[in-house]
Amino acid sequence: SAVISQKPSRDICQRGTSLTIQCQVDSQVTMMFWYRQQPGQSLTLIATANQGSEATYESGFVIDKFPISRPNLTFSTLTVSNMSPEDSSIYLCSGSSGANVLTFGAGSRLTVL
């Protein structure tokens, strides 16, 4: 299965700023997803990152707040815009090559002050 790397692994940011998280996969994957995990909670799907087109967002998540890019089959970025302390979470990237197994990165832990 694919190996997924995320950068940064953690960051501390100031309120009102934006942070872009990068997700790199070691092989081409057909599907890529971004999840959020708030402290003590389960994972919530933010969006499906579509290669060459706009991401598909889940209910409660909007493009202006979480713009996503996916320029090719091995790379995607998630930006958390105009951050507030409520955005403090772990953000996880995942991908699938169609082999029925979704692989996850280790996550990017974001703290907003």
Partner 1 sequence: DAKTTQPPSMDCAEGRAANLPCNHSTISGNEYVYWYRQIHSQGPQYIIHGLKNNETNEMASLIITEDRKSSTLILPHATLRDTAVYYCIVRPLQGAQKLVFGQGTRLTINP
- Name the minimum Å distance from CB 12 to partner 1: 16
Closest CB 61 distance from partner 1, rounded Å: 13
CB of 23 to partner 1, least distance (A): 11
- Smaller CB distance to partner 1: residue 4 or 80? 4
Strands (E), the chain: 4-7, 10-13, 19-25, 31-37, 43-49, 56-57, 68-72, 75-80, 89-96, 103-104, 108-112
Contact set with partner 1 (CB under 8 A): 1, 4, 30-31, 33, 35, 42-45, 48, 92, 94, 96, 98, 100-107
**Closer residue to partner 1, CB minimum distance, 14 or 40:** 40
* Residue whose CB is less far from partner 1, 5 or 84: 5
- 40 secondary structure, DSSP code: T
How buried is residue 78: exposed, middle or buried, by Cβ count under 10 Å (0-12/13-18/19+)? Answer: buried
Nearest distance in Å: CB 56, partner 1: 9
